[in-house]
Amino acid sequence: MIESIYLLLDSLYCSQLRDFLSGYSCQTEAFSGANLYNEIGLVTFALILLTLVLYYKVFDPSEGKLFKWGIALGVTSLLSAFGAYFWAYRAESKGFIGQCLLKDDNGNNLIGFMDYVGLGISNAIIAAVFFFILSFAIRYISVNNRYIPF
């Protein structure tokens, strides 16, 4: 299920990175590895929940509520983008991505910097949408912000 959400935005990065995240293994030439979208998605979800609980329960601002909610949304999206970017970049630098996905027969790179950025942007968009949706459920733990975002 998590993978299907990420695949809605897979046009922001290359198919080789998508295949790696879906669990493609160069050794077996099949999708036999772990589905890494789940890992990225669960970490992003935990970050969203943490930020929402911090905003609605700990900070619970009484002035500039919508503006501060927007800042929390932006910070969560930005952290999600950087998290996905660095996670994928680290996977390449540690050698987790198979060579059949990294380079073609001529030695050209198939996964580049902009693909990692695209993954980060897609994760930021997904985080923003879920932050908005989960705000409706979590806002009731707040004293001052029960009507934020609406």
For 97-148, what is each residue's pLDDT tens digit?
888 898 888 888 899 999 999 999 999 999 999 999 998 888 777 767 666 6
Q: Write out the residue range of the structural domain in which residue 17 sits.
A: 2-141
Give, in degrees to the nearest 5, the angle at Cα 107 between 27 and 14. Answer: 70
Q: Is 99 domain-assigned?
A: yes
For 26-81, what is each residue's pLDDT tens digit?
888 899 888 999 999 999 999 999 999 888 888 777 788 888 889 999 999 999 99
How many distinct structural domains can be found in the chain? Answer: 1
| DSSP result, 101-122 | HHB-TTS-BSS-HHHHHHHHHH
Confidence (pTM)? 0.89
